[in-house]
Amino acid sequence: MKDEEKIAIVSRSHAGNVAAFLSNSSFERWKVVTAGGSGYKALRVLNGTANMYIHVTDIKLWDLCAPNAIIRAAKGWMTNLDGLDISFGSQGSTVNERGVLVTRSHHFYYLSKIIPHVDVLLSKN
């Protein structure tokens, strides 16, 4: 990974502890930008003005459905923070409780740095 500043976009109202995590982890230089709307944040990743969208609090599946379709159509990735595809099936909960990571590239590299800390990132304290 190049040593250039990268941008992580997070929820304006539900940022959790992402900024602290990125500044105290093995991630390179990251700038955290806040914004509203999961679709808008996914589009920032899609158009290259953000390197990743990371969400660490509960989020309704209907807020992720369209962004997931658009990102996947553009050969990007949307998974939970465990690296699993988010299920939009009719069975089960309407809430995703395992966080969200959206990227156009280096998805599994970022996940490899997130997964060891996922329980701290997802803690509700």
Q: What is the model's pTM?
A: 0.92
Return the domain boundaries, the chain: 6-121
pLDDT, average across residues 10-24 = 83
Q: CA separation (Å) from 38 to 3, 19, 25, 61, 63?
A: 27, 18, 24, 11, 6
**pLDDT top residue among 31 and 79:** 79
Asked if residue 63 belongs to a known ligand binding site, the reply is yes
How many Cα atoms within 13 Å fall on the side-chain side of residue 114? 28
pLDDT tens sequence across 35-89: 999 999 999 999 999 999 999 999 999 999 999 999 999 999 999 999 999 999 8
- Ranges of beta strands (E only) in 15-111 are 30-35, 52-55, 59-60, 77-79, 95-96, 100-103
d(CA 73, CA 69): 6
pLDDT of residue 14: 82
Tokens of 15: 């940022």
Under a CB-based contact definition with an 8 Å cutoff, are residues 41 and 102 in contact? Answer: yes
Domain 6-121 bears CATH identifier 3.40.190.80: yes
18/111: higher pLDDT: 111
Check if the beta carbon of residue 77 is closer than 8 Å to that of residue 103.
yes
Evaluated on CA atoms 22, 24, 27, 29, the torsion sign reads positive
